Amino acid sequence: MPSPGQKLAKSGSGAWPRRRAIVAAIAALVLLPIEASDAGWLSDVFKGSSKPAKSPRHMASPKRATLAKPAAAPKLHTVKLAALGPFVLPASKPVATCDPAKFRIVLDVGHTAESEGAISARNVAEFAFNLRLAQRIEEKLKAEGFAETRLLVTGGKARPSLVRRVATANNLQANLLLSIHHDSVPDSFLENWEFEGKKSHFSDRFSGYSVFVSQDNPDFKTSLLFAELVAKEMQAQGLQYARQYTQPIMGRNQHPLLNKETGVYSYNKLIVLKSTRMPAVLLEAGSIINRDEELIMNSPERQNILASGVATAAKEFCDSRWAMLGPL
Protein backbone atom coordinates (compact mmCIF):
# COMPACT_ATOMS: atom_id res chain seq x y z
CA MET A 1 0.00 0.00 0.00
CA PRO A 2 1.46 3.34 -0.98
CA SER A 3 2.18 5.95 1.66
CA PRO A 4 0.39 9.32 1.42
CA GLY A 5 3.60 10.87 0.19
CA GLN A 6 3.98 8.48 -2.75
CA LYS A 7 0.33 8.92 -3.70
CA LEU A 8 0.78 12.67 -3.80
CA ALA A 9 3.81 12.41 -6.05
CA LYS A 10 2.03 10.07 -8.48
CA SER A 11 -1.06 12.24 -8.67
CA GLY A 12 0.90 15.02 -10.32
CA SER A 13 0.55 17.53 -7.51
CA GLY A 14 4.13 16.94 -6.44
CA ALA A 15 5.11 20.53 -7.18
CA TRP A 16 4.84 21.54 -3.53
CA PRO A 17 7.13 18.83 -2.15
CA ARG A 18 9.61 19.65 -4.91
CA ARG A 19 9.42 23.34 -4.13
CA ARG A 20 9.86 22.59 -0.46
CA ALA A 21 12.86 20.47 -1.30
CA ILE A 22 14.41 23.28 -3.37
CA VAL A 23 13.79 25.82 -0.63
CA ALA A 24 15.21 23.41 1.92
CA ALA A 25 18.27 22.83 -0.24
CA ILE A 26 18.88 26.56 -0.65
CA ALA A 27 18.33 27.09 3.06
CA ALA A 28 20.76 24.28 3.82
CA LEU A 29 23.33 25.79 1.47
CA VAL A 30 22.98 29.13 3.16
CA LEU A 31 22.68 27.90 6.71
CA LEU A 32 25.26 25.18 6.85
CA PRO A 33 28.36 27.29 6.23
CA ILE A 34 27.16 29.84 8.78
CA GLU A 35 26.55 27.21 11.43
CA ALA A 36 29.77 25.44 10.64
CA SER A 37 31.77 28.64 10.75
CA ASP A 38 29.98 29.71 13.91
CA ALA A 39 31.00 26.50 15.64
CA GLY A 40 34.51 26.93 14.31
CA TRP A 41 34.64 30.45 15.62
CA LEU A 42 33.51 29.31 19.05
CA SER A 43 36.11 26.57 19.27
CA ASP A 44 38.75 29.06 18.08
CA VAL A 45 37.68 31.40 20.82
CA PHE A 46 37.97 28.65 23.40
CA LYS A 47 41.28 27.35 22.07
CA GLY A 48 42.80 30.75 21.51
CA SER A 49 46.21 29.42 22.37
CA SER A 50 47.73 28.71 18.98
CA LYS A 51 46.98 32.15 17.58
CA PRO A 52 47.00 34.59 20.46
CA ALA A 53 47.62 37.66 18.35
CA LYS A 54 44.90 37.01 15.79
CA SER A 55 41.43 38.44 15.99
CA PRO A 56 38.43 36.23 15.11
CA ARG A 57 38.23 38.23 11.89
CA HIS A 58 41.53 36.71 10.86
CA MET A 59 40.47 33.27 11.99
CA ALA A 60 37.71 33.22 9.38
CA SER A 61 37.59 30.09 7.29
CA PRO A 62 37.57 30.62 3.50
CA LYS A 63 33.88 29.65 3.51
CA ARG A 64 32.98 32.32 6.02
CA ALA A 65 35.10 34.92 4.34
CA THR A 66 33.22 34.26 1.10
CA LEU A 67 29.91 34.38 2.88
CA ALA A 68 30.68 37.68 4.53
CA LYS A 69 31.42 39.48 1.26
CA PRO A 70 28.38 41.33 -0.05
CA ALA A 71 29.24 40.55 -3.67
CA ALA A 72 29.71 36.82 -3.17
CA ALA A 73 26.10 35.70 -3.42
CA PRO A 74 23.83 38.64 -4.15
CA LYS A 75 20.99 36.46 -5.47
CA LEU A 76 20.77 34.58 -2.20
CA HIS A 77 20.46 37.74 -0.13
CA THR A 78 16.70 37.54 0.41
CA VAL A 79 16.75 33.82 0.99
CA LYS A 80 19.59 34.26 3.40
CA LEU A 81 17.66 36.81 5.46
CA ALA A 82 14.64 34.55 5.60
CA ALA A 83 16.65 31.45 6.27
CA LEU A 84 18.67 33.07 9.02
CA GLY A 85 15.41 33.80 10.83
CA PRO A 86 15.37 32.52 14.39
CA PHE A 87 18.05 29.89 13.89
CA VAL A 88 21.32 31.75 13.73
CA LEU A 89 20.92 35.23 15.15
CA PRO A 90 22.29 35.68 18.65
CA ALA A 91 20.01 36.35 21.61
CA SER A 92 20.62 40.10 21.70
CA LYS A 93 19.92 42.38 18.79
CA PRO A 94 22.63 41.92 16.20
CA VAL A 95 24.51 44.91 14.91
CA ALA A 96 23.95 44.94 11.19
CA THR A 97 26.80 47.30 10.51
CA CYS A 98 29.24 48.33 13.13
CA ASP A 99 29.62 52.04 12.65
CA PRO A 100 31.71 53.19 15.64
CA ALA A 101 29.85 56.51 15.58
CA LYS A 102 26.61 54.67 16.40
CA PHE A 103 27.98 51.78 18.44
CA ARG A 104 27.24 52.55 22.08
CA ILE A 105 29.71 51.25 24.64
CA VAL A 106 28.85 51.81 28.29
CA LEU A 107 31.87 52.03 30.60
CA ASP A 108 30.64 51.05 34.03
CA VAL A 109 32.77 52.53 36.80
CA GLY A 110 32.92 49.80 39.45
CA HIS A 111 31.58 50.68 42.95
CA THR A 112 30.44 54.13 44.13
CA ALA A 113 31.79 57.13 46.03
CA GLU A 114 29.79 55.88 49.01
CA SER A 115 30.76 52.21 48.70
CA GLU A 116 34.28 52.43 47.35
CA GLY A 117 35.26 48.79 46.82
CA ALA A 118 38.75 47.62 47.78
CA ILE A 119 41.30 49.82 49.57
CA SER A 120 44.78 49.88 48.03
CA ALA A 121 48.04 49.16 49.86
CA ARG A 122 48.45 52.95 50.18
CA ASN A 123 44.87 53.53 51.34
CA VAL A 124 43.36 54.81 48.09
CA ALA A 125 39.84 53.64 47.26
CA GLU A 126 39.31 51.33 44.30
CA PHE A 127 36.50 53.62 43.08
CA ALA A 128 39.07 56.38 42.45
CA PHE A 129 41.23 54.01 40.37
CA ASN A 130 38.18 52.75 38.47
CA LEU A 131 36.90 56.25 37.70
CA ARG A 132 40.26 57.51 36.45
CA LEU A 133 40.89 54.51 34.21
CA ALA A 134 37.33 54.51 32.85
CA GLN A 135 37.71 58.21 31.97
CA ARG A 136 40.96 57.41 30.15
CA ILE A 137 39.25 54.61 28.22
CA GLU A 138 36.32 56.91 27.40
CA GLU A 139 38.71 59.50 25.93
CA LYS A 140 40.46 56.85 23.88
CA LEU A 141 37.27 55.30 22.53
CA LYS A 142 35.89 58.70 21.57
CA ALA A 143 39.17 59.58 19.86
CA GLU A 144 38.80 56.33 17.87
CA GLY A 145 35.34 57.37 16.69
CA PHE A 146 33.14 55.66 19.29
CA ALA A 147 31.25 58.88 19.85
CA GLU A 148 28.35 57.22 21.66
CA THR A 149 30.55 55.94 24.51
CA ARG A 150 28.96 56.61 27.90
CA LEU A 151 30.65 56.71 31.29
CA LEU A 152 28.35 55.13 33.85
CA VAL A 153 29.01 56.48 37.35
CA THR A 154 26.55 55.19 39.92
CA GLY A 155 25.92 56.51 43.41
CA GLY A 156 24.63 55.02 46.64
CA LYS A 157 25.11 51.80 48.54
CA ALA A 158 26.67 48.75 46.91
CA ARG A 159 23.72 46.44 46.32
CA PRO A 160 21.13 48.99 45.12
CA SER A 161 23.82 50.55 42.92
CA LEU A 162 24.20 47.23 41.08
CA VAL A 163 20.50 47.18 40.21
CA ARG A 164 20.62 50.84 39.16
CA ARG A 165 23.68 50.47 36.94
CA VAL A 166 22.10 47.50 35.15
CA ALA A 167 18.85 49.43 34.64
CA THR A 168 20.75 52.45 33.31
CA ALA A 169 22.78 50.35 30.85
CA ASN A 170 19.60 48.62 29.65
CA ASN A 171 17.78 51.94 29.26
CA LEU A 172 20.69 53.36 27.30
CA GLN A 173 20.26 50.44 24.90
CA ALA A 174 23.99 49.93 24.94
CA ASN A 175 25.56 47.59 22.40
CA LEU A 176 28.25 46.57 24.85
CA LEU A 177 29.07 47.05 28.53
CA LEU A 178 32.54 47.03 30.02
CA SER A 179 32.77 47.21 33.80
CA ILE A 180 36.06 48.59 35.14
CA HIS A 181 37.53 47.35 38.42
CA HIS A 182 40.85 46.93 40.23
CA ASP A 183 41.71 43.80 42.10
CA SER A 184 42.46 42.99 45.74
CA VAL A 185 42.64 39.78 47.78
CA PRO A 186 40.45 38.05 50.37
CA ASP A 187 41.02 39.52 53.85
CA SER A 188 42.81 36.37 55.05
CA PHE A 189 45.76 37.19 52.74
CA LEU A 190 46.29 40.71 54.06
CA GLU A 191 49.56 41.60 55.77
CA ASN A 192 50.32 44.67 57.87
CA TRP A 193 52.68 47.52 57.03
CA GLU A 194 52.90 51.18 57.74
CA PHE A 195 52.43 53.76 55.01
CA GLU A 196 52.93 57.46 55.77
CA GLY A 197 52.66 56.73 59.47
CA LYS A 198 49.38 54.88 59.14
CA LYS A 199 48.79 51.19 59.77
CA SER A 200 47.96 49.77 56.33
CA HIS A 201 47.42 46.43 54.59
CA PHE A 202 48.96 44.83 51.54
CA SER A 203 49.45 41.51 49.77
CA ASP A 204 52.24 41.19 47.22
CA ARG A 205 51.30 37.60 46.56
CA PHE A 206 49.24 38.13 43.41
CA SER A 207 49.27 40.54 40.48
CA GLY A 208 47.89 40.91 36.99
CA TYR A 209 44.69 41.68 35.09
CA SER A 210 41.72 39.37 34.70
CA VAL A 211 38.65 39.39 32.50
CA PHE A 212 35.26 37.97 33.54
CA VAL A 213 32.11 36.99 31.67
CA SER A 214 28.84 35.42 32.84
CA GLN A 215 27.40 32.41 31.10
CA ASP A 216 24.01 33.69 32.30
CA ASN A 217 24.28 36.81 30.15
CA PRO A 218 21.67 36.62 27.35
CA ASP A 219 24.50 36.95 24.85
CA PHE A 220 27.28 35.00 26.50
CA LYS A 221 28.91 34.06 23.20
CA THR A 222 29.38 37.68 22.16
CA SER A 223 30.47 38.64 25.67
CA LEU A 224 33.14 35.97 25.45
CA LEU A 225 34.26 37.25 22.05
CA PHE A 226 34.86 40.75 23.45
CA ALA A 227 36.47 39.36 26.61
CA GLU A 228 38.92 37.39 24.48
CA LEU A 229 39.77 40.46 22.42
CA VAL A 230 40.40 42.58 25.53
CA ALA A 231 42.54 39.85 27.13
CA LYS A 232 44.57 39.38 23.95
CA GLU A 233 45.25 43.12 23.81
CA MET A 234 46.46 43.02 27.42
CA GLN A 235 48.76 40.14 26.50
CA ALA A 236 50.00 41.94 23.42
CA GLN A 237 51.25 44.63 25.82
CA GLY A 238 53.21 42.00 27.73
CA LEU A 239 50.82 41.95 30.69
CA GLN A 240 50.20 38.76 32.69
CA TYR A 241 46.80 37.68 33.90
CA ALA A 242 46.00 36.91 37.54
CA ARG A 243 46.18 33.15 37.96
CA GLN A 244 44.95 32.73 41.51
CA TYR A 245 41.23 32.51 40.77
CA THR A 246 41.41 28.82 39.90
CA GLN A 247 43.10 27.99 43.21
CA PRO A 248 41.10 26.39 46.07
CA ILE A 249 42.68 28.87 48.53
CA MET A 250 40.47 31.55 46.93
CA GLY A 251 37.43 29.89 48.54
CA ARG A 252 34.21 31.49 47.34
CA ASN A 253 36.27 33.74 45.08
CA GLN A 254 37.36 30.74 43.02
CA HIS A 255 36.21 30.90 39.39
CA PRO A 256 36.51 28.63 36.34
CA LEU A 257 39.12 29.68 33.81
CA LEU A 258 37.59 29.60 30.32
CA ASN A 259 40.85 30.20 28.48
CA LYS A 260 44.11 29.42 30.22
CA GLU A 261 46.08 31.29 27.55
CA THR A 262 44.34 34.64 27.84
CA GLY A 263 42.99 34.65 31.40
CA VAL A 264 39.25 34.90 30.74
CA TYR A 265 37.25 33.60 33.69
CA SER A 266 33.56 32.93 34.10
CA TYR A 267 31.73 34.57 36.99
CA ASN A 268 28.15 33.66 36.36
CA LYS A 269 26.42 35.34 39.30
CA LEU A 270 27.81 38.86 38.85
CA ILE A 271 24.70 41.02 38.49
CA VAL A 272 26.28 43.54 36.16
CA LEU A 273 27.28 40.70 33.79
CA LYS A 274 24.22 38.48 33.96
CA SER A 275 21.34 40.98 34.16
CA THR A 276 22.42 43.35 31.40
CA ARG A 277 20.59 42.87 28.12
CA MET A 278 23.73 43.40 26.05
CA PRO A 279 27.09 41.60 25.87
CA ALA A 280 28.95 42.45 29.07
CA VAL A 281 32.53 42.02 30.28
CA LEU A 282 34.27 42.93 33.53
CA LEU A 283 37.93 43.92 33.54
CA GLU A 284 40.00 43.75 36.71
CA ALA A 285 42.77 46.00 35.42
CA GLY A 286 45.38 45.05 38.02
CA SER A 287 45.95 44.56 41.73
CA ILE A 288 46.04 47.67 43.92
CA ILE A 289 46.71 45.69 47.09
CA ASN A 290 50.05 44.62 45.60
CA ARG A 291 52.49 47.41 46.53
CA ASP A 292 54.47 47.40 43.28
CA GLU A 293 51.47 46.97 41.04
CA GLU A 294 49.58 49.76 42.79
CA LEU A 295 52.34 52.20 41.76
CA ILE A 296 52.19 50.90 38.18
CA MET A 297 48.40 51.18 38.04
CA ASN A 298 48.78 54.74 39.24
CA SER A 299 51.00 55.68 36.30
CA PRO A 300 49.59 57.43 33.20
CA GLU A 301 51.73 55.07 31.06
CA ARG A 302 49.87 51.97 32.28
CA GLN A 303 46.52 53.72 32.08
CA ASN A 304 47.23 54.64 28.46
CA ILE A 305 48.29 51.09 27.63
CA LEU A 306 45.07 49.72 29.11
CA ALA A 307 42.91 52.35 27.40
CA SER A 308 44.55 51.72 24.02
CA GLY A 309 44.11 47.98 24.48
CA VAL A 310 40.39 48.35 25.15
CA ALA A 311 39.97 50.71 22.17
CA THR A 312 41.74 48.26 19.85
CA ALA A 313 39.61 45.41 21.18
CA ALA A 314 36.46 47.48 20.55
CA LYS A 315 37.51 48.11 16.94
CA GLU A 316 38.24 44.42 16.38
CA PHE A 317 34.95 43.51 18.03
CA CYS A 318 33.11 45.77 15.61
CA ASP A 319 34.89 44.24 12.64
CA SER A 320 34.35 40.68 13.80
CA ARG A 321 30.63 41.22 14.38
CA TRP A 322 30.41 42.47 10.83
CA ALA A 323 32.28 39.46 9.49
CA MET A 324 30.29 37.08 11.64
CA LEU A 325 26.83 38.29 10.71
CA GLY A 326 27.51 39.32 7.15
CA PRO A 327 25.88 42.23 5.35
CA LEU A 328 22.34 41.83 6.67
Select the span of 7-15, 32-40, 106-114, 137-145 touching Zn ion (CB under 5 A).
106-114
Q: Are 296 and 286 in contact (CB under 8 A)?
A: yes
- Calpha distance 276→273 (Å, rounded): 6
Segment contacting Zn ion by CB under 5 A, of 39-47, 57-65, 179-187, 216-224: 179-187
In the bound state, the residue with its beta carbon closest to Zn ion is 181
CB nearer Zn ion, residue 30 or residue 288: 288
Q: Whole-angstrom Cα distance, residue 149 to residue 107?
A: 7
Nearer to Zn ion, 117 or 263 (CB): 117
Q: For Zn ion, which is the closer residue by CB, 181 or 321?
A: 181
Give the CA diameter of the chain.
98
Burial profile 78-114: b = 16 or more Cβ within 10 angstroms, e = fewer: eebeebbeeebebebebbeebebeebbbbbbbbbbee
CA 312 to chain CA centroid, nearest Å: 13
Q: Whole-number minimum distance, CB 117 to Zn ion, in Å?
A: 4
The only residue of 117, 208, 286, 326 in contact with Zn ion, by rule CB under 5 A: 117
Out of 48, 100, 110, 208, point to the residue binding Zn ion (CB under 5 A): 110
Taking the complex as a whole, the smallest distance from the CB of residue 270 to Zn ion amounts, in Å, to: 10
Number of residues this chain uses to bind Zn ion (CB under 5 A): 3
Residue 136 is a binding residue for Zn ion (CB under 5 A):
no
Only one of the segments 12-20, 112-120, 140-148, 314-322 lies at the binding site for Zn ion (rule: CB under 5 A); that segment is: 112-120
Is 55 or 214 the residue whose CB approaches Zn ion more closely?
214
Give the count of alpha carbons within 13 A of 278, CB side only. 24
DSSP characters over 59-106? G--HHHHHHHSTTT-GGGHHHHHHHHHHHHS-SSPP-SS--TTT--EE
> In 3D, which of 255, 307, 286, 299 has the Cα closest to residue 182?
286
CB of 292 to Zn ion, least distance (A): 20
Of 67-75, 108-116, 229-237, 249-257: span binding Zn ion (CB under 5 A): 108-116
Contact at 8 Å (CB) between 325 and 157? no
Binding Zn ion by CB under 5 A: which of 181, 201, 232, 321? 181
Q: What's the CA gap between 232 and 55, in Å, rounded?
A: 9
Choose the stretch contacting Zn ion; rule: CB under 5 A; options: 107-115, 194-202, 213-221, 286-294. Answer: 107-115
Binding residues among 182-241 for Zn ion as defined by CB under 5 A? none
List the beta bridge partners of residue 179: 108, 282
Give me the residues that bind Zn ion (CB under 5 A), please: 110, 117, 181
